[in-house]
Amino acid sequence: MIKIWSMKKNEDQAAKKKPKTSAAEIRVQKDITELDLPSTMETKFENPTDLLNFTLYIRPDDGMYQGGTFEFSFQINANYPHEPPKVKCVKKIYHPNVDLEGNVCLNILREDWKPVLNLNAVMVGLQYLFLEPNADDPLNKEAAEELKRNREQFLHNVKTSMRGGSVKGERYDKVTTEK
């Protein structure tokens, strides 16, 4: 009988040492196992035990941003899925929906977020921004105006910026292997 009590005590101590899995971590685990990413997208976890912080790489195979590799950091707080993940573009890019600090204008990351949405929805939304930049809801107003006013010049600016060049005095990070 004493042996059973000591075994129970050891189990209780082991359970106390093991950190509890939060509701956010459980939901993120579920979201990650259900990811259905195309070959143009890839996730990377710097710390495999930390599912709440990771990087997404998007490599568009079509559209104006084809040939680039765009890196987004995801930070998920303890209130997920009641609050959206914090998503930032790591490199400085020329895009109507991404400002120079890397903030992303995607409606489901702000006012249209609902707990039924998941990480896959966010990732697909980000990919869509590279296929169809939205000049009507911009964070980079200059890029949006250029897209509306002169699509050819906008395309030239995108290509220049992706190679690490300057557009209107602003230098952008190189996101392509093209010279």
Residues labelled as active-site residues: 105
Read off the tokens for 169. Answer: 């005095």
Provide the b/e sequence for 99-135 (b: ≥16 CB within 10 Å): beebebbbeebeeebeeebbbebbbebbbebbeebbb
Read off the tokens for 145. Answer: 């105006």
CA distance 114 to 58: 24
- Cβ burial of 76 (10 Å; 0-12, 13-18, 19+) is buried
Q: In angstroms, how far apart are the furthest CA atoms of the chain?
A: 83
CA distance 139 to 72: 16
Contacts of 29 (CB under 8 A, 6+ apart): 51
**Count of CB atoms within 10 A of residue 15's CB?**
9
